[in-house]
Amino acid sequence: MKKQLFFKSAVVSTILSYLLIFVGGLVRVSGSGMGCPDWPRCFGRWIPPTNVDQIPSYIDPTAFNIVLAWIEYGNRSLGVLVGFSIIVLNIIAIYYFRKEAKLFISAILSLILVLANGALGAIVVSSVLNPFLVSLHMILALMLVSVLSYACIESYKLIHVEKFKNLEGNKTLSNSLILLWILIFVEILLGTGIRTNLELVSIENPLLSKGELLNALDSYKYFHSFLGFTLLFLSIYIYTKLRNNSLYIVKFLGIFILGMIIIQIFLGEMMVFFELPQLARLFHTWGSSWLVGVIIILYNCTSNEQSK
């Protein structure tokens, strides 16, 4: 019962965090980051103004764009909701699982990460969207969903001890999954590097077309594609190792990772050849965040180290 409670709370926090990454990506691709020029309030109000008359005199009303304000506000509200869901997770952890180190530490860590990322959000706004800080904001969110995914699978294993009892540990597979996770994180860092540099070049050269912007980048952008294909081969290898696994969830996650990497390569190439359509950008970023969490779940499903 208590374990179920923790598990459900962790799942809710994880799903909300993934939604938050989606909405955060939406803020970035739609250029709504400065929709609210102040923080934590929006034009001096807890609920954004719906017309220009509601803006306090100390804020310049010409900066007001109702659509951008509400997009940014959506991101902040969802952030607050994620914060609350993680506080609930922590209350459950502190109440019932103080001695269950894996659950307790992951809950506390997720709280620290969500608070840190909220504070970073304020710095992002005050820096007028410094591209480095925007990317760091996303990296912290990825770390958050990693920790939450870990909390989900560890509590799931505690509930379904029987299912995981007879797991035969496979060192090669575990190592491959660790390697895949590290490489995907590196791949995401390269991707955010490309995005950061595109934005930096674009600020200095506002008239460059998106194709010209891509050409203005160093050749390390090709490394992102190259690593993408390496990840594809690695995920095919992992899939072949998993397809005969007795656990359905393990087989399913193996296919999920392979499929997601194929989709990511497709979206990535679309962004290059069709000059970065914004929706492809959004799902490219979001899909990568799913991979990070899912690999952690899969690793903990196949690892033979059992939690008692």
Chain residues binding other proteins by CB under 8 A are 22, 26, 29-32, 34, 37, 60, 62-63, 65-68, 71, 128-129, 203-207, 248, 252, 278-279, 282-283
Q: How far is the first Cα of the chain from the last one, in angstroms, to the nearest whole number?
A: 16
Burial 59-78 (b: 16+ CB within 10 A, else e): beeeebeeebbbbbbbbbeb
Smallest distance, other proteins to C-beta of residue 27, A? 9
Smallest distance, other proteins to C-beta of residue 233, A? 26
Among residues 29, 1, 8, 11, which one has the least CA distance to residue 286? Answer: 29
Smallest distance, other proteins to C-beta of residue 104, A? 29
Q: Choose between 30 and 176: whose C-beta lies nearer to other proteins.
A: 30
Q: Choose between 36 and 194: whose C-beta lies nearer to other proteins.
A: 36
Residues 6+ apart with CB under 8 A from 88: 9, 13
Among residues 281, 258, 263, which one has the least CA distance to residue 210? Answer: 281
281 CB neighbour count, 10 Å cutoff:
18
DSSP codes of every residue in 244-268 = T-S-HHHHHHHHHHHHHHHHHHHHH
Q: Choose between 54 and 278: whose C-beta lies nearer to other proteins.
A: 278
Smallest distance, other proteins to C-beta of residue 252, A? 7
The DSSP 8-state label assigned to residue 57 in this structure reads T
Smallest distance, other proteins to C-beta of residue 62, A? 5
Q: Choose between 6 and 18: whose C-beta lies nearer to other proteins.
A: 18
Q: Choose between 68 and 194: whose C-beta lies nearer to other proteins.
A: 68
Smallest distance, other proteins to C-beta of residue 30, A? 4
Smallest distance, other proteins to C-beta of residue 189, A? 24
- Written as six digits, the tokens of 126 are 């005050």
The DSSP 8-state label assigned to residue 53 in this structure reads G
Is there a contact between 271 and 210 (Cβ–Cβ < 8 Å)?
no
Q: Choose between 29 and 89: whose C-beta lies nearer to other proteins.
A: 29
Q: Choose between 223 and 283: whose C-beta lies nearer to other proteins.
A: 283
Q: Is the dihedral of CA 80, 290, 202, 190 positive or negative?
A: positive
Smallest distance, other proteins to C-beta of residue 281, A? 10
Phi, psi dihedral angles at 48 (to 5 degrees): -55, 150
Q: Choose between 63 and 214: whose C-beta lies nearer to other proteins.
A: 63
Which amino acid is residue 186, in one-letter code? V
176 burial type by CB count under 10 A (0-12 exposed, 13-18 middle, 19+ buried): middle
- Cα 297 to Cα 270: distance, rounded to the nearest angstrom: 29
